[in-house]
Structures are given as C-alpha cells and as structure tokens.
Amino acid sequence: MRQALSTLRLRGEHSVDALSRPSILMARARHAALPLTGFVGVVVTWWAVVELLRVPAFIVPSPASVLQALAERRETLFVHAQYTAGVVVAGFLIAVAVAVPLALVIAFSRTLSAIVYPLIVSTQAVPKVALAPLILMWLGFGPRGGVLVTVLISFFPVVVDTVLGLKAMPDELRYLALSMGARRWRTFIKMRVPFALPFLFGGMKIAITLSVVGAVVGEFVGSNRGLGYYLLVASANARTADVFADVFVLSLLALTLFGLMQLLERIVVPWPRKGSG
C-alpha cells in the first residue's frame, strides 16, 4: 500500500491528498462492514423463519439455541475439534509431501509423466467415500484411516497446480537463462521455483479445505472421536442444535486453516502480482 502510494506520487498521476487518511479509513470500514452485513442478514432471516413458521427445534433450531449448544458443549466440541484438526493437518502435510515430488517428476520427465499422470487422474475417478470402508478395514479404527482418506482427497489439486506452475516459465526466460550461461539448478532455483510458488499455494488452498472434508468422511465411516463422529452421534439422537454447533465449529476450523494458508502465502510469495492489487 505504502509502496503503491509512493509510486503514484512519483508518477505524478495523482496527488496524495486525493487519498487522504480519513477516506482511507472509511474505505477500510466499508471493506469490513459489507461481508458482515451479509452474515447478519442470513442469521436474521434464519431466526425470523424459525420463529414465524414455528419450525420444530429438532428440525431447525433457532440461532439462540445453537449458541446455547455451543456454550454448553464447548469442552466436548473442543476435544473433538482438536482430534479432527490433528487428522486434517497430518493428512494435508502428507498430501503436500507426496504431491510436490510427484509434480516434479511429471513436469520434468516425459516418460515418467506418461506412466504416472493417468494413474493419478484415475485415482480421482474413484469416489474416496466408497474407499473409506476398505481403508478402515486395513488400517482399523483410529486416526490412521482418517489421515489416509484425507491424503487421498487432497493431494490431487496440489499435484495438478504444481505441475502447471513448474511449466509456467515463459520460453523467453529459458533463452535468457541460457544466454547467461546459467547452470540448470540455478535456473531452477532462481526462476522456475518462484514461478511455481503462487500455483503451489493455489493448490494448497484448495487442498486444505478438501482435507477437512476428508477427515470428516473418515470419521463418519469409522472413528469414535472427532467432529465427524460427534456429528453422527448428535444427529442419531435428534440433538439438532448440537449438530448445528458441530457444523459451526467445523466451518470455523476450515476457515482458520484457510486463513493460515493465506498468511503463509503472503509471507512466502510477498511480491505484488498482476491482478492482486
């Protein structure tokens, strides 16, 4: 921001006064207020519908009773959330650790790519939910099965995006590197990798949200802990407010992890890019 302003000043296209402090604060406030308005609107509508149509609480509970459930079950929910978060993070990290080397192989060896790529694409054709019972039979109850389901669901976007990224370097830069007598590893480190990083983060942001889905699916099928497990138990007992509370915590978990990825992206890929403002 500071940089952009100083650029504007240097170019002399706008005076800085045009973007004075108060108007920047106003713009920031609008920026924060508008999404909030959307959320408030949804909650108010939800509340109104439940109250006016007298919907039974076991079908759709009111926002107040969901809040109450959140407060009453906070310790239980926290314990389950910790467990699920562990599975999500472990699955995500393994997925990235598997996906990046695979992407390197696919991007740099035409032969290996021809062998490996169709295989990876076919794994995506298999619905992971259908595989879950099998995985549990092999790995048993407990976190390991959940982690494997998570890995299977989330590694694919990382592979695809990283391959795209590793191939994103324009030919002209390759010529330039050659004319500079650059060694291959130097071209790789100084050009190809930075080109690939934004793509890698694109894939990882998709993967982290898919990882939450994977962990919940794993817990649906076979687990006695975690938010997915608690969701099943609560809905089997018609404790709908608890189900809502559980889903709320799950969304919060997914949002937090996504936010962390964005933060990490801003640290690793700090340079301004076209279209990023």
Partner 1 sequence: MKGWENEGLASSHVIGPAGARGVGGDRAVIRTTARRTSVRLVNVSKRYAVEDGELLAIDEVSLEIAAGSFVSILGPSGCGKSTLLLLTAGILPATRGSIFIGEEMVTRPRTDVGFAFQQDVLLEWRRVIDNVLLPAEMRGLRRRDYVERARALLGLVGLGDFERCYPAELSGGMRQRAALVRALVMHLPLLLLDEPFGALDAFTRDQLTVDFQHLWWSLQPTVLFVTHSISEAVFLADKVVVMTPRPGQVGAVIDIDLPRPRRLDLRASREFGAYTTRLREIFFRYGVLHEPDYGAIAT
Distance separating alpha carbons of residues 195 and 135, to the nearest angstrom: 37
- Write down the least CB distance from residue 127 to partner 1, Å: 38
Radius of gyration of the chain (CA): 24
SS3 state at 277? coil
Establish if 269 lies at the interface with partner 1 (CB under 8 A).
Answer: yes
Establish if 274 lies at the interface with partner 1 (CB under 8 A).
Answer: yes
Distance separating alpha carbons of residues 210 and 204, to the nearest angstrom: 10
> Which sign, positive or negative, has the C-alpha torsion 29, 35, 37, 43?
negative
Nearer to partner 1, 12 or 22 (CB): 12
CB 165 within 8 A of CB 200: yes
Nearer to partner 1, 177 or 245 (CB): 177
- Write down the least CB distance from residue 269 to partner 1, Å: 8
- Write down the least CB distance from residue 96 to partner 1, Å: 21
Q: What's at 113, amino acid-wise?
A: S
- Write down the least CB distance from residue 186 to partner 1, Å: 6
> Taking CB under 8 A as the criterion, which residues in 49-78 touch partner 1?
none
SS3 state at 39? helix
Report CA-CA distances (Å) from 73 to 88, 140, 240: 22, 28, 13
- Write down the least CB distance from residue 1 to partner 1, Å: 12
Nearer to partner 1, 187 or 223 (CB): 187
Give the residue carrying structure tokens 């997915």: 228
Residue 271: what are its φ and ψ, rounded to 5°?
-70, 145
Binding residue for partner 1 (CB under 8 A) from 1, 2, 3, 111? 3
- 144's tokens: 């390991």
Establish if 37 lies at the interface with partner 1 (CB under 8 A).
Answer: no
Nearer to partner 1, 140 or 170 (CB): 170
Residue 223: what are its φ and ψ, rounded to 5°?
-165, 155
Binding segment for partner 1 (CB under 8 A), chosen from 58-66, 100-108, 245-253, 267-275, is 267-275
Establish if 266 lies at the interface with partner 1 (CB under 8 A).
Answer: no
Distance separating alpha carbons of residues 159 and 2, to the nearest angstrom: 36
Establish if 170 lies at the interface with partner 1 (CB under 8 A).
Answer: yes
> Taking CB under 8 A as the criterion, which residues in 173-232 touch partner 1?
173, 175-182, 186-187, 190-191, 194
Binding segment for partner 1 (CB under 8 A), chosen from 127-135, 169-177, 202-210, 229-237, is 169-177
CB 152 within 8 A of CB 123: yes
SS3 state at 156? helix
Distance separating alpha carbons of residues 165 and 100, to the nearest angstrom: 11
Residues binding partner 1: number (CB under 8 A) = 27
Binding segment for partner 1 (CB under 8 A), chosen from 172-180, 207-215, 230-238, 241-249, is 172-180
Nearer to partner 1, 48 or 189 (CB): 189
Residues that bind partner 1 (CB under 8 A): 3-4, 7, 10-11, 170, 172-173, 175-182, 186-187, 190-191, 194, 269, 271-274, 276
